[in-house]
A and B are shown apart, each in its own frame.
Chain A
Amino acid sequence: MILISFDIDGTLVVGDPPGILEVDLVRAAKNQGLLVGSCSDRPISAQRALWKQHGIEVDFTVSKHMLADVKAQFEAAVYYHVGDREDLDKRPAERAGFEFLWPHEALEMPWLSRGSCGAATKQR
């Protein structure tokens, strides 16, 4: 099982500023069975509204400092966070035990670009 957390602003094309990752990539990851969610400085209610607007049922929506909580809540073989900031994404992600990917690196990951993944979501 792979869990992937997406930053929004500067990472996704719907961010402010826009990043390079299409929302459809998130949808595809979800459809492949990955555990998917967002970890952003946007209000949690706004994150939920964004995913609802795009018709994606994500597994989690958390604030930037809550990746450790995500890791505690979901069991996965590997945890990724994709973001665009050294200080606000990479450093806290690594502290929380996530592997960090810049958006262009995420595009090269097989599970995001064409993907295959394990079984359904398992919540602890």
Chain B
Amino acid sequence: MSTPTAPYSMYRPKEGLGPWEHRGKVAAVGIGHSPTARRWDGRPEHSVGGISLMALRRAIEDAGVAADQIDGLVMDPVTTTGAYWPQGKPIPNDMLAVFKATDDPLDGIAKLSADWILNNMPELTNVRFTMYGPGCMSNAICVAAQAVGDGLTHTCLVLKSWHNFAGRYYQGGANAGNAIPGSAALRALWGTPACYGTALQFAEYCRKYGKHHDMMAPFIENSRNNGLKFPEGYWAQHRPEQITAEDYKAARWIAKPANLFDNDLPIMVSAAYLYTTAERARDMTQKPVYILNHALSDGRPRSLTPTLDEVEAETARTARKIYEGAGICAADLSFENMYDGFPQFHQFHIEGLGYRGLQFGDALDFYQGDIGIHGPNPILPSGGNIGCGRSRFWMHTDCIQQLQGRAGARQVTGVKPEVAVSGGPMPLGGHFTVWSATPD
């Protein structure tokens, strides 16, 4: 089956589009997560393909539908942001023995196609619609919501998976070589790590508003606290370590003013959701969580790296799109679950949203107050990437679970969980979803 990448027409990139035409008519119901691991241990069932099958089957079971009722699959074929399969390293024979491969030997190991999934889930006998929403779950769920709303699929699995191999992230490939192509060199020659761009924006933010790095400590503590209450997360499963303010302030710099704990930990993990129509969702096992809107930020910087002015203009524009399509305003948000990988741009997202009345420059002061899950102003109750490891989807799972009332120890209690927003990754360039406990 040939799987296209979602066309631009499926997204909502502009202001002035009015309420989303499928507002409240699409719902997320089932959730499936694989266990997490720091790196692939070489066992086929723990490969990125193997854990994806586990997540998908758990989502189907969680929703309480039969596999043959699934007619759609939306996913991201890219499973890394920086871990490379060493050139020339043979594919493990076990992998070939256990799974039905595609033409690409790295499929299921360092990437993932819809064909690989369908080859290895023979129970999915009625999938007629497949589509790629590349980048992260934030994209894939917007594509799935639009596809279900448009009637392209009625009962659709949405999948995002991550692989990680031995060695340090970003240290292989061209970064290890002695020469690089001219286009890449315009940025890469200076050796900036991934967090550098965000660190720059954060530095400008601190200069402009009179803030400083250590004011991020309560946010980091809160994120890890919440993440340790997320049983699906890496830190909860493997290393239940708090990050105290002292720990945060003592960490080494990666790209000052971003330190080690301003960065997330690459892991292997997969998550799947089951999306369907609001009507069909009523008969499923879990309480439906309705999609009120999805929105795209496709702003781009004028030059090498976004300026603070560009960031603030774009997050404000994104917020207007989010609210307009959902027919809500900032005051309607029970909580927020905007992306945090990197934590130093989380404040851009929530200031753009005007969450709890925040204006530009306010968030770091806001972090010094009660931002916990039991207070009136929850910040990132999922714990995000800092709390759970790099996946870019904890915030979506958390929104669904919170609105379903099954977030367990993480359940917000200081607010009634009715409407939430999640999305990312970047302040310039991301996909956002508005979730609701009711269809209207």
Interface residues of A (CB under 8 A from B): 16-17, 41-46, 49, 62-66, 87
Q: A16 with B239: in contact, given A41-B260, A63-B251 (CB under 8 Å)?
A: yes
Show 26 residue pairs from A and B whose CB-CB distance is below 8 angstroms, ordered by the A residue: A16-B38, A17-B38, A17-B39, A41-B251, A41-B252, A41-B260, A42-B241, A43-B241, A43-B244, A43-B247, A43-B251, A43-B261, A44-B246, A45-B241, A45-B242, A45-B246, A45-B247, A46-B242, A46-B247, A49-B241, A63-B250, A63-B252, A64-B252, A64-B260, A66-B252, A87-B168
In the complex, the answer to whether A43 meets B38 with C-beta atoms within 8 Å is no
Is B238 interfacial (CB-CB < 8 Å)? yes
Chain B residues closer than 8 Å to A42, beta-carbon distance = 241
The complex places the Cα of A9 from the Cα of B238 at a distance, in Å, of 13
Q: Nearest chain-A residue to B260 (Cβ)?
A: A41
Contacts of B38 in A (CB 8 A): 16-17
- A85 vs B438: C-alpha distance in the bound complex, in angstroms? 52
Complex contact A46–B251 (CB within 8 A)? no
The interface residues of chain B, by DSSP majority, are classed as: loop
Contacts of B241 in A (CB 8 A): 42-43, 45-46, 49
Least CB distance, A30 to chain B, in whole angstroms: 23
A43/B243 contact (C-beta < 8 A), A16-B38, A17-B39 known: yes
Known: A17-B38, A63-B251. 9 other contacts (CB 8 A): A17-B39, A43-B244, A45-B244, A45-B246, A45-B247, A46-B241, A63-B260, A64-B252, A64-B260
Chain B residues near A16 (CB-CB < 8 A): 38, 238-239
Contact residues in A for B247 (Cβ distance below 8 Å): 43-46
The interface residues of chain A lying within 8 Å CB-to-CB of B253 are: 65
Complex CA–CA separation, A17 to B250 (angstroms): 23
- A27 CA / B238 CA spacing, docked (Å): 24
Q: What's the Cα separation between A104 and B238 when bound, in Å?
A: 26
Shortest Cβ distance from A61 into B: residue: B250
Query: What residues of chain A lie closer than 8 Å to B260, measured between beta carbons?
Result: 41, 63-64
Complex Cα–Cα for A65 and B261 (A): 14
How far, in whole Å, are A63 and B249 apart by their CA atoms in the complex? 10
Q: Mark B243-279, 1 if CB is under 8 A from A, else 0.
A: 1101100111100000011000000000000000000
Q: Kindly list chain A residues whose C-beta atoms are within 8 Å of the C-beta of B243.
A: 43, 45
**Chain A minimum-CB-distance residue to B261:** A43
Q: How far is the CA of A41 from the CA of B238 in the complex (A)?
A: 16
Are B250 and A44 in contact, with the CB atoms below 8 A?
yes
Which residues of chain B come closer than 8 Å to A45, judged between CB atoms?
Answer: 241-244, 246-247
A91 to B225, CA, bound (A): 33
Q: Please, how many angstroms separate the alpha-carbon atoms of A20 and B36 in the complex?
A: 23
Given A17-B38, A17-B39, A41-B260, CB of A46 within 8 Å of CB of B239: yes
CA gap between A49 and B261 in the complex, in Å: 18
Q: In the complex, which residues 220-252 of chain B have their Cβ closer than 8 Å to any Cβ of chain A?
A: 238-239, 241-244, 246-247, 250-252
* Contacting residues, chain B, for A17 (C-beta < 8 A): 38-39
Residues of B contacting A62 in the complex (Cβ-Cβ under 8 angstroms): 250
Q: What residues on A are CB-neighbors of B239 within 8 Å?
A: 16, 46
How distant is the Cα of A17 from the Cα of B39 in the complex, in angstroms? Answer: 9
A45 to B168 Cα, complex, angstroms: 24
Bound complex: CA of A41 vs CA of B38, how far in Å?
15
Per the 8 Å Cβ criterion, residues 157-214 of B in contact with A are 168
Chain A residues contacting B251 (CB-CB under 8 Å) are 41, 43, 63
A101 to B17 alpha-carbon distance, docked (Å): 63
State how many angstroms separate the Cβ of B368 from the closest Cβ of chain A: 20
Complex CA distance for A11 and B87, rounded to whole angstroms: 27
